[in-house]
């Protein structure tokens, strides 16, 4: 059922994440069934599919956010840079430092712009004022927010516009210097202009980071991603990976009938 073509196009790039026979359960509910694929570094991968097919659940496996759900249980293996992240002795804090996450809504902390960004590095034991200042400046510059906020770093971040807040959230993620950035429908609350600018930013960031996005918008997947993973639920409502291919190839020449139905809008 799982196809893994297309990796050869990106074969120069090393594998960042290797997902092998992943099964996820919430209590007795089988949420993800036998998901396997490989993500190359410094690419943008889009996970698409209908609502409730487990896209977010899959994304949250990469930084072990599912650990927060007491009933969640994972079988199979995911390797980051060859290291299994679900091994019994795996370092979850270290993993989350390497795999950052940007959420759906701009969830800034109700504190100053500076504190929003400094919080992550501080959690990892960095308290040197000068270094923190540098990190704040660099992170804000990476998301093109520095010029707009450099004179009001100590003002409340909730005063920023929605797009600025989401940029701040991305900067906050970058501040802990991750390798991988997970974006869970991070554009869904933005207007079209803002979406275009955030997508531009994603393309820029992909030169340095490995980015995995969950999106409802097939246009967005087509615009920004190198690879696309199409998910669907099987007859038992468990999410599974139907097709994984270079995005352009999937949209022009889908291998699976279900993929074709979905991207041509015949699903549902």
x-or-dash pattern for another protein, window 162-201, by CB under 8 A? -------x--xx--x-------------------------
Contacting another protein (CB under 8 A), which of 16, 96, 167, 223? 96
* Length in residues, the chain: 268
Smaller CB distance to another protein: residue 101 or 202? Answer: 101
> End-to-end distance of the chain based on CA atoms, in angstroms?
21
- Best CA proximity match to 239, nearest among 54, 43, 75, 68: 54
Say which residues have a Cβ less than 8 Å from residue 174's Cβ, sequence separation at least 6: 100, 139, 142, 143, 181, 205
Say whether 234 sits in a helix, a strand or coil.
coil
Residue 55 engages another protein in binding (rule: CB under 8 A): no
* 138 contacts another protein (rule: CB under 8 A): no
> Which of residues 114 and 209 has its CB atom nearest to another protein in the complex?
114
Q: How many CB atoms lie within 10 A of CB 208?
A: 13
Going 258 to 186 to 188 to 42, the CA torsion angle's sign is negative
Q: Which stretch binds another protein (CB under 8 A): 40-48, 110-118, 224-232, 238-246?
A: 110-118
d(CA 106, CA 172): 11
Least distance between another protein and beta carbon 174 (Å) = 11
Task: Give the CA distances from residue 251 to residues 6, 243, 244, 263, in Å, rounded to whole numbers and listed in that order.
Answer: 13, 11, 11, 7
Minimum gap (Å) between residue 95 Cβ and another protein: 8
Stretch that binds another protein, among 43-51, 120-128, 211-219, 240-248 (CB under 8 A): 120-128
Q: Whole-number minimum distance, CB 122 to another protein, in Å?
A: 7
**What residues contact 148, with CB distance under 8 A and at least 6 apart?**
164
Single out the residue of 154, 252, 253, 264 in contact with another protein (rule: CB under 8 A): 154
In whole angstroms, the minimum distance from the beta carbon of 96 to another protein comes to 4
Among 32, 65, 229, 250, binds another protein (CB under 8 A): 65
Interface with another protein by CB under 8 A: which range of 29-37, 44-52, 98-106, 215-223? 98-106
Sole window of 11-19, 90-98, 209-217, 260-268 interacting with another protein (rule: CB under 8 A): 90-98
- Positive or negative, the Cα torsion across 188, 65, 167, 158? positive
Residues 173, 163: Cα–Cα separation, whole Å? 15
For the beta sheet containing 44-48, the strands, ordered from the edge strand earlier in sequence to the opposite edge, are 83-84, 72-80, 15-26, 29-40, 239-246, 227-233, 44-48, 210-214, 180-184, 99-102
Q: Is 119 in the site for another protein (CB under 8 A)?
A: yes
57 binding another protein? (CB under 8 A): no
Binding stretches for another protein (CB under 8 A): 63, 65, 68, 70, 93-94, 96-97, 100-101, 103, 105, 107, 109-112, 114-115, 119-120, 122-124, 153-156, 169, 172-173, 176
């Amino acid at each position: 059922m799982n196809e893994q073509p297309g990796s050869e196009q990106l074969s120069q790039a090393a594998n960042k994440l290797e997902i092998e026979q992943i099964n996820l359960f919430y209590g007795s509910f089988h949420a993800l069934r036998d998901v396997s694929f490989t993500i190359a570094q410094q690419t943008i991968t889009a996970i698409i599919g209908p609502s409730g097919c487990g896209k977010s659940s899959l994304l949250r496996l990469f930084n072990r956010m599912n650990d927060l759900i007491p009933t969640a249980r994972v079988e199979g293996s995911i390797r980051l840079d060859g290291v299994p992240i679900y091994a019994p002795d795996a370092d979850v804090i270290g993993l989350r430092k390497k795999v950052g996450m940007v959420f759906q809504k701009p969830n800034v902390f109700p504190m100053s712009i500076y504190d929003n960004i400094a919080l992550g590095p501080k959690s990892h034991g960095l308290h040197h004022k000068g270094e923190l200042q540098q990190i704040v400046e660099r992170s804000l510059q990476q998301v093109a927010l520095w010029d707009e906020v450099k004179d009001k770093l100590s003002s409340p971040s909730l005063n920023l516009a929605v797009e600025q807040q989401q940029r701040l959230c991305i900067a906050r993620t970058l501040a802990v210097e991750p390798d991988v950035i997970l974006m869970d429908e991070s554009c869904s609350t933005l207007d079209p202009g803002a979406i275009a600018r955030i997508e531009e930013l994603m393309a820029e960031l992909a030169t340095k980071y490995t980015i995995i996005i969950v999106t409802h918008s097939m246009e967005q997947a087509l615009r920004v991603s190198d690879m696309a993973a199409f998910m669907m639920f099987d007859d038992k409502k468990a999410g599974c990976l139907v097709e994984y291919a270079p995005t352009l190839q999937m949209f022009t020449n889908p291998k699976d009938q279900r993929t074709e139905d979905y991207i041509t809008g015949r699903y549902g």
